[in-house]
A and B are shown apart, each in its own frame.
Chain A
Amino acid sequence: MAGYNTSDFRKGIKVEMDGDPYLMIECNFVKPGKGQALYKCKFRHLIRNTVIDRTFKSGDSLEAADVHEIQAQYLYRQGDLFVFMDNESYEQYELGIDQVDDAWKYLKESMVCSMLLYNNNPIGVTPPNHVVLRVEYCEPAVRGNTATNVTKPAKMETGAEIIVPNFVETGEMIRIDTRTGEYIERVKE
Chain B
Amino acid sequence: MFRLPREDFRPTADWTALRERAGLLRRLRLFFDQRGFLEVETPLLSADTVVDRHLDPFSIEVHTPGGARTYWLQTSPELAMKRLLAGGAEAIYQVTRAFRQEELGPLHNPEFTLVEWYRAGDEMAAGMAFLDQLCQAMLGRGSAQQLSYRCAFERYAGLDPLTAPLDALRSAARRTSAPPASFRPDDRDLWLDWILTEQVQPHLGRTRPAILYDYPASQAALARVRDESPPVAERFELFVEGIELANGYHELLDPDLLRRRNAANNAARAADGKHPLPVDSRLLDAMESGLPQATGVALGFDRLVMLRTGAQRIDQVVAFPFDRA
Contacts and interface: CB of A to CB of B under 8 A. Distances in A.
Contact of A55 (B104, B106, B180, B237): B180
Interface in B213-229: 219, 221
B197 interface: yes
Interface string B177-210: 1111011000001100100110001000000000
B52 interface: yes
A57 B201 CA distance: 19
Contact of A32 (B179, B183, B197, B272): B197
Given A33-B237, A37-B54, A37-B102, A57 B247 contact: no
Contacts of A56: 180, 182
A29 B180 contact: no
Contact of B193 (A35, A54, A58, A59): A35
Contact of B178 (A28, A34, A54): A54
A54 B247 CA distance: 28
A152 to B, nearest CB: 47
B97 interface: no
B182 A29 contact: no
Contacts of B197: 30, 32, 35, 38
Contact of B102 (A54, A58, A60): A58
The 4 closest A-B pairs by CB, nearest first: A29-B105, A35-B193, A57-B180, A33-B247
Interface of B: 52, 54-55, 102-108, 177-180, 182-183, 189-190, 193, 196-197, 201, 219, 221, 237, 244, 247, 272-273
14 contacts: A28-B106, A29-B106, A30-B107, A32-B196, A35-B54, A36-B190, A38-B197, A54-B180, A55-B177, A55-B178, A56-B180, A56-B182, A58-B102, A60-B180
Given A29-B108, A30-B197, A53-B177, 19 more contacts: A7-B102, A28-B105, A28-B106, A30-B107, A31-B103, A32-B197, A32-B201, A33-B247, A34-B54, A34-B55, A35-B54, A38-B197, A53-B178, A54-B180, A55-B178, A55-B180, A56-B182, A59-B272, A60-B180
